[in-house]
Amino acid sequence: MTKVRFTITMSVDGYIAGPEQSAEDPLGKGGLALHEWVFPTRSFREMTGEDGGDTGLDDERLRAWNAGIGAHIMGRNMFGPIRGDWGDESWRGWWGDEPPYHAPVFVLTHHAREPLEMEGGTTFHFVTDGIEAALERAADAAGDKDVAIPGGASTAQQYLRAGLVDEMDLHVVPVILGGGERLFANLDGRPSGFECVELVSSPAVAHFRYVKGG
């Protein structure tokens, strides 16, 4: 059965991006520090065409983020900084010609756009009729694999409020941002029904895995 999973890095005070996000600073002020645990790993260096890199726990967790995933769902803000109509549709995402998803990606938006096929197996599909429709399409595309929600916070919150998330992998770094985009806001409390089934840590980041109970 297809599960809905999200994997996300957050600060110790609960933010997944800093304040003042922009095209020049997509993670907001200070937000790049959230992902410093990723950059030295062998998996990341392979993604960027480089040799070497660290192995061990953090590398294993990064390598696992795409394992068993057949499709992704993301919010429009994660795809790009444009608001309103797409204009000339020249924006093709933050990730260059070959995004790291290597699977269909369904982007939640209020503005229609033709699918955008990229290198490496990623195709962005733009969904205008809500989170349930996006999940139905993503589940169909995933087949016997799972659907991942890479972000952003608003998208994760919508699926959590609807009770549609099965697993959460949270990577918590010892950074205090003090403001920005908080993951667990707008939920009328906290996500309910989840059990922490694993907690492991390196000096750079603590990895939590939560599974929703039956």
Please report the pLDDT score of residue 8 as a whole number.
Answer: 93
Contact 151, 128 (CB under 8 A): no
DSSP state of 36: T
List the domains of the chain with CATH numbers. 4-83+98-212 (3.40.430.10)
- Taking the C-alpha atoms of residue 31 and residue 27, their distance in angstroms, rounded to an integer, is 5
β-bridge partners, 210: 168, 196
Please report the pLDDT score of residue 214 as a whole number.
Answer: 61
List, run by run, the mean pLDDT of 10-residue segments along the chain (214 residues).
92 93 85 94 85 94 90 93 84 87 95 94 96 97 96 92 95 96 88 93 97 83
Single-letter amino acid, residue 172:
V
Please report the pLDDT score of residue 87 as a whole number.
Answer: 84
Please report the pLDDT score of residue 199 as a whole number.
Answer: 97
Please report the pLDDT score of residue 96 as a whole number.
Answer: 86
Distances 9 to 4, 89, 199 between C-alpha atoms, Å: 17, 29, 14
